[in-house]
Structure 1
């Protein structure tokens, strides 16, 4: 009877590892990316406003305030290249309008950022080259008008209930506990900037945030800063700007605020993802060119905000996968540093690869079905009809009174005529 020789332990380990590798490859191959939503902040820009004691005026900036710079163009071009590489096995190598859709807010800096992004994402090749000396092609950027109900620029205005929540936030213990340590600093800032102290204390009016932003822009572009704008001062201003963003969309009654703000965009994104899961005719990618407050409001609504201001070209990815089981899942990734891979973001209560149904269930508390109603806005058409009904009612009463007076006037005339006879 022969002796059965067993493989040596190293061979068993190698064999087991080989089988495991094959299984992992098969699992990976069976998982398929189906749809992507991208939300990014515009690139580097000039200041939005200056403060009373600012050393520099708008005329010192080549294109004026709020405009994309060459640095910003390069940042978004690089983000486009990164997106192209990240989804090289998913997106078509050349632009296809059936696959891709980009929407921007109606600001020069976001429109120009979108165009810079597209030049990095879809440089023309082969038959799409229309000018051999210019490796660029025009690709549509759909502009979301400022008057549109579906907005990307937060905070959404004309919402009385949100204004009430902002006033409540200012006096809430959550806010006061965070702002109190900075009171002496704010008094000094009022003297240095020429801004009113009461306005600086109200972080939701953007005055301190805008002042920090102006100094930040001037520092990036090597403009002379005021002598009081030391590194320590600017760091404190940055912390207060971060608190401003957090208190604007969260900190106090986060869910209700999100229903009126970031949840609006989240609902739009979720509906697009659901459509992609239910239809084979859906495109492959939707992109939004927007602002730091857009990403902040969205992440606070998702309860994944890291507390930091989204930097220029910060980018949030939503990826829809179809698992080997046939079910769908969502992954979120956040790119806020071009030198590093994006961070994986996990929705609280779920895993990093969150089942679509579970994702929708978890975010449902921050999604509203009737934004105007929850904002406390009255239906204008109802007001019109109500006013019309009131006017008709008053007219009827007026007619009845008039008929009554005419009737009595007639009787009086007849009585007087009878007496004369």
Structure 2
């Protein structure tokens, strides 16, 4: 195991120990997290590790490290919400949705194993500290919320047009020589920031798992290229229209959930958990205008907490990565953001699934 993976395990343990329970003014919580550590989604043409035997469960699948990361996140959530979320599982308390991708589904299962170790009458096997918890999902081709892979012709058209505009067009010109170099050595045709991001991602993961890399990759695994990958992530929600079409249904889901909790709508749990991707988190942060152009690491989480205030309910937003949890403040909103104002700030990038479907058909 690489030193970096050992460090990640220690950080997971560290955050588990120092998770602090929250106050008693909490009304509802939504947690969106990225799946845990995975194998590369695919090998590049000249990849010395293209043989799937290097990845026992296959390309794109959750690794044992990823399972530990999500289990640790589940334990951290248990400590943080020990006074809010009962230790015994009850379907009325929580609902878990996952992208219909193996690594997300397995991450959700690993997470709730840490969140809900069975106790008392929920122990059904003395030799197994685990209990089945339902995970809800939607086919990828129909999922506009977590996988965000349901086709949208207007979104695809706008994204393609964006790549021909600033700052993306000049960035491609600036790095053309390097991209040609990467193309020659990788055997892939690296012509866009997304191509570069995909190559960087594969090599980064192989390096993370202590697989010796070809010399040419030294100029790929740099902070500069990582920042370019971050720029590529921001493109998915770079404009208001792109943000609405990419993350709008997700934002609508979160806000509707809080509205339903406030209005005591039947069958609305107080805790909503969403298992997604880096491609779910980065556009959401971009849509909220708080993205720092850094790749959302494995098991990174965006946490929304709805709290009861003296005059009105308010929202706190946090971003948790493997080393820290940070407060997130949206533009025109205090950290303790009045819920009505929170909705107002996000209104331009919020859309219902019904309206999303209609707009996606427009040219």
Determine the structure 2 residue equivalent to 1:303: 289
Unaligned runs of 5+ in 1: 1-27, 379-421
Determine the structure 2 residue equivalent to 1:202: 192
Residues 192-231 of structure 1, C-alpha deviations (whole Å, 9 max, x = no match): 11122xxx2322xx3322211111111111112112111x
Aligned residues: 337
Deviation for aligned residue 1:95: 1.0
Structure 1 residue 234 corresponds to structure 2 residue 224: no
**After superposition, where does 1:222-371 map in structure 2 within 5 Å?**
222-230=210-218, 232-235=219-222, 236-250=224-238, 254-279=239-264, 282-325=268-311, 327-337=312-322, 339-340=323-324, 342-369=325-352, 370-371=355-356
Determine the structure 2 residue equivalent to 1:404: none
Deviation for aligned residue 1:347: 1.1
Deviation for aligned residue 1:87: 0.6
Deviation for aligned residue 1:181: 2.8
Residues 366-391 of structure 1, C-alpha deviations (whole Å, 9 max, x = no match): 1235112322359xxxxxxxxxxxxx
Higher mean C-alpha deviation, range 39-48 or range 171-180: 171-180
Q: Over alpha carbons, which structure has the higher Rg?
A: 1
Determine the structure 2 residue equivalent to 1:81: 75
Residues 280-325 of structure 1, C-alpha deviations (whole Å, 9 max, x = no match): 7532200011100000121111111111110000011000001133
Name the SS for the 1:209 alignment partner. helix
Determine the structure 2 residue equivalent to 1:171: 164
Name the SS for the 1:211 alignment partner. helix
Deviation for aligned residue 1:183: 1.9
* Partner Cα distance (1:368, 1:46) in 2: 34
Unaligned runs of 5+ in 2: 1-21
Aligned partners of 1:255 and 1:301 also within 8 Å: yes
Higher mean C-alpha deviation, range 52-61 or range 289-298: 52-61
The two structures have a TM-score, normalised by structure 2, of 0.88
Aligned partners of 1:105 and 1:144 also within 8 Å: yes
Residues 216-247 of structure 1, C-alpha deviations (whole Å, 9 max, x = no match): 111111112112111x4211432222121112
Deviation for aligned residue 1:149: 4.9
- Of 57, 61, 75, which residue of structure 2 is paired with 1:67? 61
- Higher percent of residues as helix: 1
Structure 1 residue 186 corresponds to structure 2 residue 179: yes
* Partner Cα distance (2:144, 2:161) in 1: 26
Determine the structure 2 residue equivalent to 1:105: 99
Higher mean C-alpha deviation, range 162-171 or range 91-100: 162-171
**After superposition, where does 1:96-135 map in structure 2 within 5 Å?**
96-135=90-129
Deviation for aligned residue 1:159: 1.6
Deviation for aligned residue 1:82: 0.4
Aligned partners of 2:144 and 2:150 also within 8 Å: no
**After superposition, where does 1:370-385 map in structure 2 within 5 Å?**
370-377=355-362
- Which fold has the larger relative contact order, with Cα–Cα distance below 8 Å and residues 6 or more apart in sequence? 2
RMSD: 1.8
Shift of the 170–150 alpha-carbon distance from structure 1 to 2, 3 Å rule, reads closer
Name the SS for the 2:28 alignment partner. strand
Higher mean C-alpha deviation, range 347-356 or range 125-134: 125-134
* Partner Cα distance (1:335, 1:158) in 2: 30
Residues 145-190 of structure 1, C-alpha deviations (whole Å, 9 max, x = no match): 2233543113x44222212212211211222233333222111111
* Partner Cα distance (1:233, 1:211) in 2: 9
Higher mean C-alpha deviation, range 101-110 or range 279-288: 279-288
Shift of the 148–167 alpha-carbon distance from structure 1 to 2, 3 Å rule, reads closer
Deviation for aligned residue 1:355: 0.7
Structure 1 residue 91 corresponds to structure 2 residue 85: yes
